[in-house]
Chain A
Amino acid sequence: MRRAPRLWTLFALPGTTWLIALFAIPFYAVACVAFGTIDPIFRDAVPQWNPMSWDFTQASQTLASLTSGPLRGVAIRTVVYVFCAMVISFMIGFPIAYFLARHSGKRKLLFLALIIVPFWVNYLMRMLAWVNLLSSDGLFTRFMRLFGVNYNWLDGSPITVVLGLVYGYVPFLILPLYATLERLDWRLIDAARDLGANSRQAFRLVTMPMSKAGLVAAGILIALPMFGDYYTNDLLSRSPSTEMLGNQIDFFLNASSQPQNGALLVIVLSIFLLVLMSFYLRSTRQQARQTTR
């Protein structure tokens, strides 16, 4: 088609309008609340709709709070938790994805199906299941007591929160990893083996470089929602010592009279994630260019 007929533009129009109205414009609304003024009586946000008159004093205060003030702990903790959860998720997810990609037996479909099952189980139910198991008379707690481990899992423990994040997001890592590994051209690995490399060398020098872009993309794919997660902490801990950035956003927007702080944190989070997203987009483009079967 030389010039796109107006039919296709008409097709794209309703959806695009919808996304502009309910996806793009809301970000502008967030900015208007974040960079607006404060009502003196209620200390509530007064949005400033004219970008020319945006007021950045609140923003600089929030930034200061994040870098050296009370919110610094939350910011650092969120990054640390997400990083640890990602590392553990990879340690669990990569071998499984690798096995799935390479195993061409009859069981493959069964494994795939069983791995996909957690997708279709509500995230809250999966967390609820662990809340039950980890409570003071829960099955897991009682089990661990047999080994002398007398730990209060639900009493504000960072370990519980990180492991909760892992449990919640690992399924979302395995599938993209599997997709990446499945697309690799295994003939190249066979060629390396034929040329004398042992399996470890073949893995290190051929498999890893070829799948790196896909790995990065998959990692970022679960890091993004993890950074905004707040209910994992809410369900498994609810203690200030494990407070994450998402909890602060939820608090300011839903339980306080100061939504402007929440709006500011949303903007900070979005910018941070945009940087991550640009890595993601670069990796997916790289991955698409790499040799596939």
Chain B
Amino acid sequence: MINRLRGRRTSALVYVIWGYIIWSLVPVIIAVIYSFNDGRSRTVWQGFSFRWWWQDPNASVFQSSEMRNAIINSLVLAVATLLVVTPLGIALAIGTQRITGRGTNLVQGLTSAPLITPEIVVGAALLITFTRLFTAVPLGFTAQLLGNVTFSLSSVVVIVRARLVSIGPSFEEAARDLGATRWQALRFVLLPMLWPSVMASLVVVFATVIDDFIITSFLSAGVSSETVPLRIYSSVRGGATPALNALATLLVLTSFTVLIVGLFGLSTWRKRHGERGGMRAALADVTRMSS
């Protein structure tokens, strides 16, 4: 198919897109650079140093106990959420795709609803629920875990379901023709083929939970359940040093590392299992929105 865009318009739009990319990324890059600032300011450059990363004994990211706690809390919460939401989401995706009968639409609606609900509504509802109804659930890590699983469940379902659709029923049917039970077909044929979507959802959920602010904030219980985004938020309003920039940079680095590892894992898996697509398909898997 011939690209019919005229040369003039093409070059104008290229500037627009580069302009956007610069506007989008440069502030963040500047923030990262200032994390290496020697002085207390986040706005005036005073020389290069690792002071806020590990040198300063009280306020640097690696030596400040509050910041370390925030980092640990973030990682633990993200991993715990992954462990719960992944099997739950896979089962839900498989189940909702294949059930029939009355109530199917309702269940599918229920599964998709969290995707289009603003986080503040979910956070507020869960806060009220845990303080008034399910009072056995303490606020803090437990509540944050339950809240994040609830919020990420639908993303997992979307990712896995897309893969299910593209796989189709033929493989399982072939297995059943050869004598396997439904459960055996599932376990030995379908689940292995779902692996890329599992990887994609691990990446997406990890990044979502580690970046999550509203739900984690509404359900927190003081400093013991503070995650990195909460720490950043409470510090911006008072007493912020470049350590904040460093903490935020660390967060971004973590997300990116997980993303890149996931992308490489995905495209390697695809190559090894003879599916086409490479990096672009991996990207598509990972950025699957409700589009």
Contact = CB atoms under 8 A, between A and B. Distances in A.
Contacts of B182: 5, 7
A176 B115 CA distance: 14
Nearest to A131: B236
A186 B28 CA distance: 36
Say what secondary structure dominates the interface of chain B: helix
Given A19-B150, A102-B3, A12 B118 contact: no
Contact of B99 (A9, A125, A167, A171): A9
A13 B110 CA distance: 12
Contacts of A162: none
B178 interface: no
Interface string B11-45: 00110110011011101101100100000011110
A26 B229 contact: no
A139 interface: yes
Interface residues of A, number: 107
Interface string A210-239: 000010011001001101111100110010
Interface string B98-129: 11110000010011011011111110111111
A175 B287 contact: yes
Nearest to A141: B43
B213 interface: yes
Interface of B: 1-6, 9-10, 13-14, 16-17, 20-21, 23-25, 27-28, 30-31, 34, 41-44, 88-89, 91-92, 94-96, 98-101, 107, 110-111, 113-114, 116-122, 124-129, 132-133, 146-147, 149-150, 153, 157, 182-183, 186, 207, 210-211, 213-214, 218, 228-229, 232-233, 236-237, 244-245, 248-249, 251-252, 255-256, 259, 279-280, 283, 287, 289-291
B88 A15 contact: yes
A186 B1 CA distance: 9
Given A118-B25, A120-B255, A171-B24, A263 B207 contact: no
Contacts of B119: 225, 228
Interface stretch (A53-61, A62-70, A107-115, A144-152): A107-115
Say what secondary structure dominates the interface of chain A: helix
Top-7 shortest CB links A-B: A12-B95, A15-B92, A11-B95, A228-B118, A26-B125, A228-B120, A179-B291
Contacts of B24: 115, 117-118, 167, 170-171
Contact of B88 (A7, A14, A113): A14
A256 interface: no
A26 B153 CA distance: 16
